[in-house]
Amino acid sequence: MLHYYRKGNGATIVFIHGFLSTNRVFDKILPNLLNKYDCILLDLPGHGQSPYEGEKTMYDYTEKVIQVLAYLNINDATWIGHSMGGYITMAAVEKYPQYVKRAAFVYSSPTADSTKEKEQRNQHVETIKTEGLEAFIKQRIPAYFAFNGNEQDIVEAYNHAKQTTIEGAIAATYAMKGRPDQVTMINKATIPLLFIEGTKDLLEKPFHTSSPQVIKYTTETSHMGLLDDPVQFLEKLQMWLGKTY
């Protein structure tokens, strides 16, 4: 089972971090949520303290999250996914809606990889195999911060990334490459959904929606808005949590 920790009291929120990260990436916003919410924070396979166990698709990762929720007898949680964690959350909304009360996708787009982006994923794997994971991390993390991050935040992101295994990084890269386009599914969803987009995010693509279930908020941040500006990020998140309770 995935490694997790649990804090707080109230309605349950499950937090799912992104690629090359850990459950501690939410530390800056967590203290402000514990008085209202039961927060469960997971390490994904091959990341943090969770071992990689052969997961190949976003649905495989989603099933590992659900395994934890089932173990804890939780079936109506709010899901908050950052980046790749958002892709996993989309898979849950699609395939396992009984476990999702509402969902927030943080710097995470429902559009599938383009042909060019899939080629870039292959290049990432090649870099990991030929130059090593640490070299790939050093190349990748600055882009998360739009090449203009606070030094302390970048160091924190590096420290999270260094807890990723080679197998976990490669598997996650292929899973992201192979994920389906989820725009139609998002537009047909019947539960409250939130997208937080960063004006300086170089990684995720915007998308159009006319669904009344979807709320979009923007932060003046990079892909790592929860580290760039946790106050602004938390304001947007709490606004949505309060509206859709």
The predicted-structure confidence for 187-211, as pLDDT tens digits, reads as follows 999 999 999 999 999 999 889 898 9
Q: How far lies 212's CA from each of 94, 101, 105, 116, in Å? A: 18, 16, 16, 32
Per-residue pLDDT reduced to its tens digit, 77-112: 999 999 999 999 999 999 999 999 999 999 999 999
**Domain definitions of the chain by residue range:** 4-243
Give 76's DSSP letter.
S
Contact by Cβ (8 Å): 228, 236: no
pLDDT of residue 245: 74
| Domain spanning 4-243: CATH superfamily | Alpha/Beta hydrolase fold, catalytic domain (3.40.50.1820)
Strand-pair category, 193-198 with 214-219: parallel
The answer to whether the pTM exceeds 0.85 is: yes
pLDDT tens-digit map of 152-180 = 999 999 999 999 999 999 999 999 999 99
Please calculate the CA angle 177-147-181 and round it to the nearest 5 degrees: 20
